[in-house]
Structure 1
Amino acid sequence: MKIDSFELYVAKLELKKPFITSLGVINYSDHIFLKVFSEDGEFGWGECSPAYFINGETVETCLAISKKLTDSIIGISCFSHELIQQKLDSIIYGNHSIKSAIDVACYDLASKSKKIPLYKYLGGELKKKIYTDYTVSLNDIDKMVKQARSIVERGFKIIKVKLGDDGKKDIERIRLIRECVGSNIKIRIDANQGWTIEEAIETLKKIYKYEIQYCEAPINREFSYRLNEVKEASPIKIMADESLFTLNDAKMMVHGNHCDMFNLKIGKQGGIYESTKIIEIAEKNNIPMQVGGFIESRIIFTVNCHLGHTSNFIKHFDCDSPLFHKINPIIGGVEYKNDWELILPTANGIGVDIKKDFLKSCSKII
């Protein structure tokens, strides 16, 4: 089934409240919703939400290159994922956000054409329950403790705490949050590259007693070549995030013994195809993984759940972002049962569509 044409829709989704990390404050998320059509009229959906502070991309940069990228794969079979990736990469280096939207749409189209859900198309099967965490934004200590309490009262069993602006404050944040939520709640942390190497080691050693699952991105990715120093000194497991964009990054993380775990994001990795290659590296080297994202809609987090059913090494799910939005523009997609248990749709493909009234409010680009 050959790729025939594309439509792009640009939108902003307002958040219920500001999302704060050591990298900055987010009040809304930018989105490009991408629709691919086959020559017989079947379609698939993809999406990206460019995070300029992570990957240097914006909606404007995505749109600037989007037509060259989409034109390069017109007439190619939607099942030829490796060729599609090669064509996209031949046009421009990087630009993983818009490439991921194209890649995801092609996978949706391909699996719908086969009349099977995406996880089956990827060789997976439904064999696990999926539970997401919920994130405590970086803030004043008392506000973070209050948010942690509220999250637990909603029924979440896992919280992710944003840290990274000050190691000493971070120790106190974790102490008080653990005291507030009790010992039965799992806590994982994300420094968003905010600590120095020395600060990371000292902070991780001091919060170890508060039973932390793992730490994402303790130091700036510019010092990824020294991440192994943190890993070797830390009693808490280290998860590579911003240090892990490409397949070669994954190989370097393994070769240098830089981390204990991988964090996969469709928009960071450049799509499903590249993610599956990184999953293969993780499986060969017994590296557990988490699937997460930026602040995309349910399209991408439904893809995350499909991916989660393809590998026993995908053990953790950071899929709370759709709960941050004031509105949900998606039809179908993953169900947030009681907010924290994620249930895949039974439909073919990803199992999503977009509300027509919402699309009418978007800027349409053909």
Structure 2
Amino acid sequence: MLQTSIRSIEIFKLFLPLKEPFVISLGPIKEVQNVVIRLRTADGCTGYGECSPYMTINGESVDTCFAVAQYLARGLRGHDALDIAGCVAMMNRIIYANSSIKSAFDMALHDIAAQQAGLPLYAFLGGKSDKVLTTDMTVSLGPPQKMQADAIRFQRQGFPFIKVKLGETLEADVARIWAIREGIGPDHPLSIDANQGWHTAEAAIAVLQALAPYRIAHCEEPIARHLFMDLARVSAASPIPIMADESCGDEHDAARLIQLRACPQFNIKLGKSSGLHRARKIVDLGAAAGLTLQVGGFMESRLGMTAAAHLALTSDAIRHCDFDTPLMYAEDPVVGGIRYLAQGVIEVPQVPGLGAVMDEQYLRNAEKWVMG
């Protein structure tokens, strides 16, 4: 048996409270429901991965991920952990889609491979630590007064970029942005995310044009993702640059959107792409096409967001980071990992591998499944 073959696989459910509900146009999130994967190789190397399934976006839940992970574990046990491409191909043969849980395995495999290479994950991926990463902070969907108060608080906390959840009626969304601009002034960088909430191209164009005076940097996913053929029309009519999110899951989606000249920006998430292996293909495609890229996530802890931060150091085309969800946690279950500094600056671990592990006290009390 190879020393780097996968000897044991552990699957954990992770439930954690948020400081307050996080609300988007697709519905509220009241607690974290994630899955953690821990892989061990024959030589004792340990890799960690995490996913945050989103039923309305990737069609997975904590329960489906926990079940599908067991199928994937049976296929991967005994395989060489350093053969990441082979492991990804095997997972795709075992089951179609299920990008969220596949991303957790992919993350753990990359953690092991980077440790074996003696490199921080970003360096193993070909990246450099020569740029400063900063995260935005997201204003949850709600009444204008509450959203204004949150935006003011985030500005005072030093976040250089504020992201605002929208996706309801034109009148309601314009009122929200008006209130926020009244609170934080006309110059603080601001982006918006409709999460498909405006549904049709016509509705989206109307809202985007109404928001033109408010100096918005970009808008994520304005229309229903199945209407991607209409995204180019929205982009052409919008005074605000469009960033594909839900409609850009994997590299095939990215290639399609580029061919359609659908939008100038992509938002890349490991839980949509199935992990780092395929996310890097989106980065390469987007960079070659001259697009501006953002790396974000779902509701991952600092463990999952650490992997995203490593990815963000791999390309100059990645200019935006949306790594704020761990700051919404009421508890922090991670040891090591990225650190949040003043002014929204993200400090990435410089140790071999991912540089983050789960606190044993959280795993000890979690529902789990073990093989090996």
Q: TM-score, normalised by structure 1?
A: 0.98
Instruction: Report the Cα distance in structure 2 between the residues aligned to 1:87 and 1:272, rounded to whole angstroms.
Output: 16
Query: AA paired with 2:87?
Result: I
Residue 155 (str. 1) matches residue 152 (str. 2): no
1:175 corresponding residue in structure 2: 178
1:69 corresponding residue in structure 2: 72
1:186 corresponding residue in structure 2: 189
Deviation of residue 153 (structure 1)? 1.4
- The answer to whether the 8 Å contact 2:13/2:66 transfers is no
Residue 350 (str. 1) matches residue 351 (str. 2): no
2:316 corresponding residue in structure 1: 312
Residue 141 (str. 1) matches residue 159 (str. 2): no
Query: AA paired with 1:133?
Result: D
- The answer to whether the 8 Å contact 2:160/2:343 transfers is no
Say which of 240, 243, 263 aligns to 2:244: 240
Deviation of residue 114 (structure 1)? 1.3
Say which of 203, 207, 220 aligns to 2:207: 203
2:21 corresponding residue in structure 1: 18
1:46 corresponding residue in structure 2: 49
Deviation of residue 75 (structure 1)? 2.5
Instruction: Report the Cα distance in structure 2 between the residues aligned to 1:67 and 1:19, rounded to whole angstroms.
Output: 30
Instruction: Report the Cα distance in structure 1 between the residues aligned to 2:305 and 2:93, rounded to whole angstroms.
Output: 28
Q: Which has the larger displacement, 143-152 or 315-324?
A: 143-152
Deviation of residue 339 (structure 1)? 6.7
Question: In the TM superposition, what are the counterparts of 1:78-97 in structure 2 within 5 Å?
Answer: 78-97=81-100
Say which of 263, 266, 281 aligns to 2:267: 263
Corresponding residue SS for 1:13: strand
Instruction: Report the Cα distance in structure 2 between the residues aligned to 1:61 and 1:305, rounded to whole angstroms.
Output: 26
Instruction: Report the Cα distance in structure 2 between the residues aligned to 1:185 and 1:77, rounded to whole angstroms.
Output: 49
Deviation of residue 179 (structure 1)? 2.0
Query: AA paired with 1:180?
Result: G
1:33 corresponding residue in structure 2: 36
Instruction: Report the Cα distance in structure 1 between the residues aligned to 2:52 and 2:235, rounded to whole angstroms.
Output: 30
Question: Post-superposition, which runs of at least 4 consecutive aligned residues in structure 1 deviate over 3 A?
Answer: none
Corresponding residue SS for 1:52: coil
Equivalent pairs: percent with the same residue?
39
Q: Which has the larger displacement, 352-361 or 320-329?
A: 352-361
Corresponding residue SS for 1:331: strand
Instruction: Report the Cα distance in structure 2 between the residues aligned to 1:76 and 1:33, rounded to whole angstroms.
Output: 20
Instruction: Report the Cα distance in structure 2 between the residues aligned to 1:76 and 1:363, rounded to whole angstroms.
Output: 25
Deviation of residue 92 (structure 1)? 0.8
Corresponding residue SS for 2:146: helix
Say which of 295, 300, 307 aligns to 2:304: 300
Say which of 208, 222, 229 aligns to 1:225: 229
| Structure 1: gaps (5+ residues) | none
Deviation of residue 120 (structure 1)? 0.6
Corresponding residue SS for 1:53: coil
Instruction: Report the Cα distance in structure 1 between the residues aligned to 2:117 and 2:77, rounded to whole angstroms.
Output: 20
1:274 corresponding residue in structure 2: 278
Say which of 265, 273, 288 aligns to 2:292: 288
Query: AA paired with 2:299?
Result: I
Query: AA paired with 1:207?
Result: L
Corresponding residue SS for 1:78: coil
Q: Which has the larger displacement, 144-153 or 213-222?
A: 144-153
Query: AA paired with 1:353?
Result: V
Instruction: Report the Cα distance in structure 2 between the residues aligned to 1:41 and 1:220, rounded to whole angstroms.
Output: 46
Cα distance per residue 1:133-176 (max 9 Å; x no partner): 10011101111111111111111121000000112211121122
Cα distance per residue 1:72-126 (max 9 Å; x no partner): 2222222212111110000111000110000000000110111110001001111
2:218 corresponding residue in structure 1: 214
Deviation of residue 343 (structure 1)? 0.3
Q: TM-score, normalised by structure 2?
A: 0.96
Instruction: Report the Cα distance in structure 2 between the residues aligned to 1:86 and 1:358, rounded to whole angstroms.
Output: 31
Cα distance per residue 1:231-264 (max 9 Å; x no partner): 1111110000000112110011000111110100
Instruction: Report the Cα distance in structure 2 between the residues aligned to 1:66 and 1:259, rounded to whole angstroms.
Output: 34
Corresponding residue SS for 2:37: strand
| Structure 2: gaps (5+ residues) | none
Corresponding residue SS for 1:213: coil
